[in-house]
Amino acid sequence: MVLSKALLAASRRPGLQRVVTGTPATRRVVDRFVAGETLADALTAARTLAADGISVTLDHLGEDVTSRAGAEHSRDAYLAALEGLAGLGLGDRAEVSVKLSAFGQALPDGHDTALELVRPVVEAATAAGTTVTLDMEDHRTIDSTLAALAELRKEHPGTGAVLQAMLHRTEDDAKALAVTGSRVRLVKGAYDEPATVAYQKKKDVDAAYARCLEILMAGPGYPMVGSHDPAVIQRAHELAAQQSRAADSWEVQMLYGIRPDEQRRLAAGGTRVRAYVPYGVDWYAYFVRRLAERPANVGFFVRSLITTS
């Protein structure tokens, strides 16, 4: 837990970012979690996953932009991604995930800026027969992100949201979003949140996840079970059976490069599986969050630095 908090703090320190990203050996470890730096790399990953029966959601890496130009760059990158995905002909088996902080959410008037700049992306996705999911970031952004979701869903009801089980508020949010047509990815939560708003112990987060999963699986929406945890995946299957859910009425989502064999095994067995595929040059914060989730990955990273030097 201490290591995890230190890493999450490091994910927001530009000095450390320069050291880590400037180390050539880092690249090999990053490649395990990131599909590549270009859209072409991401499309290759999407094609390979599709051949194994796995859908994708592409994430153009980048967050916390500090200028309107940066936010416009995110919009343009996603428009290009949707154009590239259309060429693969995968329909809604290839969608995109966006972080509103990459669309200017933290700027003055950030809520309106992010909504203005993400709207064309959502429109392009609808036109291409697919969807956009709004990733969830730290707890101070949630009201703005859920308000943007409500606005976008008026014309694009397939727009998805993410709920983080670690937060005390999430059971209520899950009840509010367990409605017809609503796509909700339930995750444990990847940000360092204070005890005033979030459960601090893994067992409490896991219990909260189970409660929220029950709410979503019992409702008429489309639950997206975002977890690598075998207990979560098993519980999701049990609940789907209890609720007599059709196989195409929910899905499991896992991150690119994490438990890839399990992703293929589930897909081969008839579970809908979607991989979250990050790409781009701005991979530092994403990468450090993945290290924070699992101390074993830190060991892997450090060993690779030592063996290369």
**Active-site positions?**
135, 185
Q: Among 55, 130, 164, 271, which residue interacts with ligand FDA (rule: CB under 6 A)? A: 164
Site for ligand FDA in 207-236 (CB under 6 A): 226-229, 232
- Is 163 a binder of ligand FDA (CB under 6 A)? no
Interface with ligand FDA: number of residues (CB under 6 A): 24
In the DSSP assignment, the letter for residue 109 is T
Least Å distance, CB 2 to ligand FDA, is 16
Near ligand FDA by CB under 6 A, which window of 42-50, 108-116, 145-153, 189-197? 189-197
105 in contact with ligand FDA (CB under 6 A): no
By rule CB under 6 A, what string of x and - marks binding of each residue 240-269 to ligand FDA?
Answer: -------------xxx--x-----------
Shortest distance in whole angstroms from residue 108 CB to ligand FDA: 24
Task: Give residue 239's Cα distance to chain centre.
Answer: 23
> Measuring CA to CA, how many Å separate 107 from each of 65, 114, 277, 303?
8, 9, 27, 39
Q: Which of residues 267-306 bind ligand FDA (CB under 6 A)?
A: 276, 290, 293-294, 297
Q: By C-beta, is 68 or 186 nearer to ligand FDA?
A: 186
Query: How many Å apart are CA 45 and CA 47, to the nearest integer?
Result: 5
Output the six-digit token pair for 195: 């005890």
144 binds ligand FDA (CB under 6 A): no
Long-range contact set of residues 79-86: C-beta below 8 Å, sequence gap at least 24: 79/120, 79/121, 79/124, 80/39, 81/39, 81/42, 82/121, 82/124, 82/125, 82/128, 82/130, 83/124, 84/39, 84/40, 84/42, 84/43, 85/43, 85/46, 85/58, 85/128, 85/130, 86/128
Is residue 136 a contact residue for ligand FDA (CB under 6 A)? yes
